[in-house]
Structure 1
Amino acid sequence: MKTRFAIPATLLLSLAAPALQAQIPVPPPNAAADTIRKYQSPPQQPKQPFLKSKLFKATVVPAVLIGYGISTINDNGFYSSYDARRDILKTFPGFHTKADDYLQFVPYLELGATVLAGVESRNDQLNLLLVIAKSEAIMLGTVYALKTSTDILRPDGSANNAFPSGHTAQAFLAASIVHTELRDKSQWYGIGAYTIASSVGALRMLNNRHWQSDVFAGAGIGILSAHLAYLTHRNRWGRKPIARDVGLQPFWSPASGAGLTFRWQPKH
């Protein structure tokens, strides 16, 4: 006679529980929600040294030019404005030309020609015009204020508004904009523009219209005006130019002949 033993199911489960717990991973308890750090200020970035800041890079060259110009006013400096005028009159007696009246705007013509030729500038056309307008306003206001306040006689004795040279300021302002807008394409654009601007300053002295001090200060003011315009410009009108969304394309077909198709690409 065989004897059968009935093992309760609860006993089997109690014996198998350690093995099941070892095989089935137990999820970790939920971490407490972080409600403190979200109110903390983000870590501040280390402050950039002044010598590497945009303000220093934008003002160092103009400051040197303006400072040198001021240091040579009249008979001051190791090579004064009087010394420069004496050597110019001795080397180029009776020199006269009106080329400087036109050359001061040639860098702008260079910029316009390259843009029309398809060379992409740093800014779109609208922002470029805004930068030019702001630069011109800064330059013209500064030059006018200094001319009327310093009251320095021109070397030819024609007027008491010699300092600084407005022609030179205009030429170097335009050259600085050309350099900034096209330097990523080629440095030669800026080199050509600054060469033209330098020739304007030289011709103002050769024409006996300005002192050495006027020319150097004018160059510094022109460059500084352009740099300040870029520093204060944040592309508030930075929408894509309309030419990228709207366009006209010529077409021809035997049925209708030649014509133009209007293309409009809406923004997504």
Structure 2
Amino acid sequence: MTPLIRKLLAVAFFLPLGALPEQANAQTPQPAPADTTHKYENPGGVSQGKKPFLKSKGFRAAIVPAVLIGYGASTINGHGLYSSYDAHNDIRRVFGSYRTHVDDYLQWAPYLEIGGVLLAGVDSRDDRVNLALIVLKSEAIMLSTVYVIKTLTAIERPDQSNNLSFPSGHTAQAFLAASIVHTEFRDKSQWYGIGAYTIATSVAALRMINDKHWQSDVVAGAGVGILSAHLAYLSHRNRWGRKPIGRDVSAMPLWSPSGGMGMSVTWRPK
């Protein structure tokens, strides 16, 4: 074998071996460079500012009650285009001396509707514990608000029984419960809320027919009831009733010859 042939064979043998590292490196995927063109855009959909005031939850929760309370206050006694005195005269002309106690019971009917719908298997928006807490909070807000306004205004009832006419507590109670019905079941059917508000409106009408309240009282009372429910929902954070308490609290009986019997309670707060 000539020297020239030996050199050619050596080059042909070592050239592929020398190229293997480069081929291996070429097959290894290289990470793509980081994309920094969108680094200051809204990551994860996080809000970059407050919503406009007209679209905020507070405005939407307060606008209807504010209109009702404002209109009711504007018609106290003989004020307004259609005053409480005008409405009272028209009601007495139509219904005369008719009286009934149905409104004393009907004010609670929306709550009975909640119980009936739940028993029928329709799920409410909130679980049972949170729904009960919202009801209690709403009632506390409404009762305290009605009491304070009644005491400060001291307006005499149409039947002259006392000076606690404005606003109507019965109407506030009925519209508060109706607002809760609407909020809890509106995703299932709007008819639940329509039925509850129809009952509440009937309570307002009966309070005037029974000569217990002026027009101003029942309109403002409806606003107070709705606002109380809205405030309870806005301030509620759904922190209760999410998990059974057994997951967070455990108890174990203990006994020792020197100390006798006892109980060990362990609490694991989230």
TM bin, normalised by shorter chain, reads: 0.7 to 0.9
Which ranges in structure 2 are unaligned for 5 or more consecutive residues? 246-270
Q: CA deviation at 1:60?
A: 1.1
Contact in 2 for aligned 1:66/1:221 (Cα 8 Å): yes
* Structure richer in helix, relative to its length: 2
Alignment of 1:1-268 (within 5 A): 3-5=2-4, 6-7=6-7, 13=14, 21=22, 25=26, 44-240=47-243
Q: CA deviation at 1:89?
A: 1.2
Alpha-carbon separation, structure 1, partners of 2:31 and 2:115 = 65
Q: 1:79 to 1:31 in 2, by over 3 A?
A: same
Q: CA deviation at 1:234?
A: 1.0
Which ranges in structure 1 are unaligned for 5 or more consecutive residues? 243-268
Alpha-carbon separation, structure 1, partners of 2:134 and 2:240 = 11
Question: TM-score, length-normalised on structure 2?
Answer: 0.78
Q: 1:17 to 1:136 in 2, by over 3 A?
A: same
Contact in 2 for aligned 1:151/1:162 (Cα 8 Å): yes
Letter in 2 for 1:91: V
Alpha-carbon separation, structure 2, partners of 1:24 and 1:203 = 88
Q: Per-residue displacement from partner, 1:204-240 (whole Å, max 9, x unpaired)?
A: 1111111111000000000110111111111110324
Q: Secondary structure at the match of 1:184?
A: coil
Alpha-carbon separation, structure 2, partners of 1:99 and 1:30 = 76
Tell me what 2:267 maps to: none
Letter in 2 for 1:190: G
Letter in 1 for 2:26: P
Q: Secondary structure at the match of 1:178?
A: helix
Alpha-carbon separation, structure 2, partners of 1:131 and 1:237 = 11
Letter in 2 for 1:186: S
Q: 1:24 to 1:30 in 2, by over 3 A?
A: closer
Q: 1:44 to 1:226 in 2, by over 3 A?
A: closer
Paired residues, number: 237
Q: RMSD of the alignment, in Å?
A: 3.1
Alpha-carbon separation, structure 1, partners of 2:150 and 2:132 = 27
Q: Secondary structure at the match of 1:7?
A: helix
Alpha-carbon separation, structure 1, partners of 2:17 and 2:130 = 77
Question: TM-score, length-normalised on structure 1?
Answer: 0.78
Q: CA deviation at 1:32?
A: 9.8
Q: 4+ runs of 1 displaced by more than 4 Å? A: 8-24, 26-33, 41-44
Share of identical aligned residues, percent?
A: 64
Q: CA deviation at 1:28?
A: 8.2
Letter in 2 for 1:7: K
Contact in 2 for aligned 1:125/1:241 (Cα 8 Å): no
